[in-house]
Amino acid sequence: MALFIGYAIGQLLFGALSDRHGPRWLLLGGMLASAGLNVAFALSRPLVPMMLIWGLNGFFQATGFPATTKTIANWFPPSQRGRVSAIRGADYPTGSVLVMLLAGWLAEHYGWRWAFFVPAAILAVSALHTFLRLRAAPEDLGLPSVEEQDGGEASEGGDAFNGWRYVISMTLHNPRIWVLAIAFFGLTITRYGFAIWAVTYITEQGASISRAAAISAVIWLGGIVGNFAAGWASDVWLHGRRAPIVVPMLVALAVLSALFPLVPVNVTWLLVIYLAVVGACTYGPDMMIVHTMAMDVATRKATASAGGFIDFFGAIGAAGTVALSGYLADTAGWSVAVMVWAGGAALSAILVATLWNFRGGGGRWV
């Protein structure tokens, strides 16, 4: 819970700072701070300091998403952003699978603290590499701006900050951003319902913890497939319209969520296929809503603030799901908890459907 609260606050702050100051130094500071906090967490003991450290870890991890969104928006026109976002969006499913394997091996052979020390060291090295190699926009290297790539004409001001009035008009005063924010709130109810509670549910149905964890990992693998399917389809087949691929995936996710209690846990092949499809229908829309559609709606000049605002709502949904799903499972049964997950996906589908014909580009800034 502390991680999600810290992450939510960080999204609002670092989204605005990414638009104002660019992503390079922000990523360096956030990644190094997160690495240090992982080490501090492994060395801490009392509950309250551990909660504080983990909340701060979530806060500094929030530098990553707005900064990467800003960078992609600066470098790629709307016609390519779905595919590029798919590549970037594969990072957390892939990273989650790898870190589960690495942390489990380290904890078993060297103790649980090394499951924090080694990933922290990898993150610190990655921070330095990112800082040395990353450039915020083509203009930093004397290359044509993304507006020139998209329409052949340069926009006045280049990569310069467009002012807080513009950022506010494209985020807080933009009805489409509010639609995406509330839709992402609904989606994260479903996403973290499965991500946090699927292992518990499967073990309560009689599976061992190791088997449940291994089977649940296919959610991440399915998520990678869903990322690429949504990104490529929206760019190549739908010519920049995202909703016609996102909405069917969300409807399928709502139906699949409601059917979860009916899936026999002892039939491994069926459970694996089911969770893989759940992952695909979760992470394809996830990447589209908070990443690609944020760029399309807010333009590159305000995309980090817009993405951070949307992700703020997502973090609130995640925090609520962690507590509510456990409570409902204990008091009313898993069928009720699962229907809440299904309702989150359904809410998201209804809201994103209102943007059915929207596509990015066409304005002064893309």
The enclosing domain of 247 has a CATH number of 1.20.1250.20
Q: What is the pLDDT of residue 362?
A: 67
Residue 345 CB partners (closer than 8 Å, separation 6+): 186, 187, 189, 190, 250, 251, 253, 254, 257
Q: Residue 49 is part of which domain span?
A: 2-136+170-353
Q: Are 247 and 356 in contact (CB under 8 A)?
A: yes
- pLDDT at 211 exceeding the cut of 90: no
Tell me, yes or no, whether 366 lies in a domain: no
Task: Quickly list H helices, 76-133.
Answer: 78-89, 91-110, 114-133
* 76-80, 154-158, 178-182, 330-334: range with lowest mean pLDDT: 154-158
In a domain, 144, yes or no: no
Domain count, the chain: 1
Mean per-residue pLDDT, 336-352: 97
**Weakest mean pLDDT among 111-115, 165-169, 358-362:** 358-362
Residue 153 lies in a domain: no
- Does the residue 317 lie in any domain? yes
Mean pLDDT, rounded, for 15-39 = 93
Helical residues (DSSP H) of the chain, grouped into ranges: 2-21, 24-43, 47-61, 64-75, 78-89, 91-110, 114-133, 146-151, 164-170, 175-204, 209-216, 218-232, 243-259, 268-287, 293-298, 303-331, 334-353
pLDDT at residue 1 greater than cutoff 80? no
50 vs 43: CA distance, rounded Å: 9
| Tens of pLDDT, residues 41-53 | 999 877 768 889 9
User: Whole-number mean pLDDT of the chain?
Assistant: 91
pTM of the model: 0.92
pLDDT tens digit string along 271-316? 999 999 999 999 999 999 999 999 999 999 999 999 999 999 999 9
**Two tokens, residue 134:** 């990353």
Confidence of residue 215 (pLDDT cuts 50, 70, 90): confident
Cβ atoms of 34 and 123 within 8 Å: the answer is yes
Tell me, yes or no, whether 363 lies in a domain.
Answer: no
The share of the chain scoring above pLDDT 70, in percent, equals: 97
Question: Per the domain annotation, does 305 fall within a domain?
Answer: yes
Is residue 364 situated within a structural domain? no
pLDDT over threshold 90, residue 230: yes
Least confident of 21-25, 121-125, 251-255: 21-25
Q: Is the pLDDT of residue 200 over 80?
A: yes
